[in-house]
Amino acid sequence: MKTIIEPFRIKVVEPVRQTTQEEREAALRRASFNLFQLAAEDVLIDLLTDSGTGAMSQEQWAGVMRGDESYAGSRSFQRFQAKVQEIFGYEHVIPTHQGRAAERILFSIVGGAGKIIPNNTHFDTTRANIEYGGGTARDLVRAEARDPTLELPFKGDVDLARLAELVEADPRRVPIGMVTITNNAGGGQPVSFDNVRGVRAILEAHAIPLYFDACRFAENCWFIKTREPGFAERSVREIARALFALGDGCTMSAKKDGLANIGGFLATNDARLAAEARNILILTEGFPTYGGLAGRDLEAIAQGLDEVLDEDYLRYRAVSTAYLCDHLHAEGVPVLRPAGGHAVYLDAARFLPHVPKAQFPGQALACALYRHAGIRACEIGGVMFGEHAQLELVRLAIPRRVYTQSHIDYVVEAILEVFAARERIGGLRIVEEPPRLRHFTCKFEEL
């Protein structure tokens, strides 16, 4: 059979609400053209993020009922810890309420003034946590990643020559190296096994540990299996284990490939770092056997980490994301190629060539999609990254196990209609912004 179906059937439904064009216009103005400020009930198809927005399985919900809410040493923590150790192979497992809490803890230990943390591309919270501590976040993704039209299997790879140059210039300034799998800010593109091996070798020569930002590790390992020579016969689980064995630890947001609605963790083989991390954890997140989560959350994550490695699920996930990307591409809509694992990225710079960068073409396009069809997407460009923006993108993130093919067909149709009328879309200017992570709360005006 050629048709790849959703490998589940629907047991609980949540209604979505249609709105009129006038209602959406009013909602957009109330939100000051910042889609993070919309009420979710005014959104028909919500592609703002794939983070915490997935549907949990019957086994995850059963786990919720089994959650052990003991303050210390709960059974749910033990299950969670054992599952993380089994899949990731790191000894110390520190639960956090989400990924950025793990980042904050990690960088408050290894970061600080004068320190440089290399990565393929730092996600916004990672960069912000490093910079908040006075350190420098350095993006070293391979140059080809900046060309949205180049069809390459591993556009998330680190530029090894630039990494070597950075490390050799002054290894004492580089406390750890990071690799984000998949490279979210660079279009959800995977990193090859071979590249991680190269990163490892460069860092190891100077005894610098390697940490993964593992948010979408299962999707990345699926791409390794299906795209990288020599991996087709290995299971995604084996590939994940081998990949993580090249590193010393990871930060993780369980809201992505944990298939959970909340949660995260820091995992490491470094006992000293783990001890320090637990002390900070107690101060701000909670006791080390729950770290800001309920026992039921730990159960849902332990179960989700297993389910996400199911290869029927991963095949469906990759194929359904590519379906959206390929349909748009076939109709001439500028999209980042190839499709990412969790999202499809519209190339706003080519979609709206008449809107200069300074007028935020990505934000203008995201607003146009909402106005036209009630679809909420997310700008990943000049608003989010300011001067660090490498591309002007609009991300259509696909929540896991939530939308069906007809929802996606609606999205395709809506984008084609917006594309046909693209000349009428104008730019925006920022009229109010906070000092960091401005994209969440800044206000815009239409020009």
Cα distance between residue 234 and residue 240, in whole Å: 10
As measured in angstroms, the least distance from the Cβ of 33 to ligand F0G is 19
Considering only residues 34, 51, 119, 120, which one is a binding residue for ligand F0G as defined by CB under 6 A? Answer: 51
What is d(CA 50, CA 54) in angstroms, rounded to the nearest whole number?
7
Q: Does 255 bind ligand F0G (CB under 6 A)?
A: yes
Please name which of 373, 374, 375, 394 lies closest in space to residue 383, comparing C-alpha atoms: 394
Buried b / exposed e across 208-226, counting CB within 10 Å, b at 16+?
A: bbbbbbbbbbbbbbbbbbb
CA 404, CA 391: separation in Å to the nearest integer?
29
Q: Report the DSSP pairing between strands 393-397 and 210-213.
A: unpaired
Token pair 């047991």 in the structure block, residue? 11
CB of 379 to ligand F0G, least distance (A): 11
Shortest distance in whole angstroms from residue 446 CB to ligand F0G: 25
Compute the CA torsion angle 415, 420, 426, 430 (nearest 10 deg): 10
Q: Residue type at 236?
A: V
| 303 near ligand F0G, judged by CB under 6 A | no
Q: Give the list of residues 6+ apart from residue 186 with CB closer than 8 angstroms, or none.
A: 120, 121, 141, 145, 155, 156, 390
CA distance 434 to 54: 29
Sheet with 393-397, strands from edge to edge, namely: 343-347, 393-397, 378-380
Binding to ligand F0G in span 1-30, by CB under 6 A: none
Q: Would you say 53 or 303 has its CB closer to ligand F0G?
A: 53
Would you count residue 126 as binding ligand F0G (CB under 6 A)? yes
Cα distance between residue 290 and residue 296, in whole Å: 10
Of 266 and 428, which CB lies nearer to ligand F0G in the complex structure? 266
> Which lies closer to ligand F0G via its Cβ, residue 265 or residue 419?
265
Strand intervals (E) in 174-298: 177-180, 210-213, 249-253, 264-268
Taking CB positions, which residue lies at the least distance from ligand F0G? 99
CB of 164 or CB of 240, closer to ligand F0G: 240
Q: Which of 49, 192, 195, 363 binds ligand F0G (CB under 6 A)?
A: 49
Q: How far is the CB of 102 from ligand F0G (least distance, A)?
A: 8
Q: Is 359 in the site for ligand F0G (CB under 6 A)?
A: no
CB 260 within 8 A of CB 301: yes
Please choose, out of 94-102, 151-159, 199-207, 408-416, the segment that lies near ligand F0G by the rule CB under 6 A.
94-102
Applying CB under 6 A, which of residues 166, 215, 224, 335 lies at the interface with ligand F0G?
Answer: 215
Q: Assess 363 for contact with ligand F0G (CB under 6 A).
A: no
Site string for ligand F0G, 164-203 (x = CB under 6 A): ----------------x---x-------------------
SS (H, E, C) 99-147: HHHHHHHHHHHHCCCCCEEEECCCCHHHHHHHHHCCCEEEECECHHHHC
| Least separation in angstroms between CB 287 and ligand F0G | 20
Binding mask 257-286 for ligand F0G (x = CB under 6 A): -------x----------------------
Q: How many residues bind ligand F0G (CB under 6 A)?
A: 15
Output 126 or 189, the one with its CB closest to ligand F0G: 126
Please, which residue, 98 or 195, has the CB nearer to ligand F0G? 98
Binding region for ligand F0G (CB under 6 A) out of 96-104, 149-157, 240-248, 424-432: 96-104
Check residue 123 for interaction with ligand F0G (CB under 6 A).
yes
Tokens 């990949």 appear where?
243
Query: Given its phi and psi angles, is residue 358 left (phi above 0), alpha (psi -120 to 50 degrees) or beta?
Result: alpha
Q: Which string of DSSP letters, residue by residue, matches 10-72?
A: -SS--------HHHHHHHHHHTTT-GGGS-GGG-SEE-S-SSS-SPPPHHHHHHHHH----SS
- Tell me: does residue 98 bind ligand F0G (CB under 6 A): yes
- Between 46 and 68, CB nearer to ligand F0G: 46
> Which token pair is 341?
């694992």
Question: Looking at 79, 83, 92, 100, which residue binds ligand F0G (CB under 6 A)?
Answer: 100
With binding defined as CB under 6 A, does residue 253 bind ligand F0G?
yes
Contact residues toward ligand F0G (CB under 6 A) are 49, 51, 98-100, 123, 125-126, 180, 184, 213, 215, 253, 255, 264
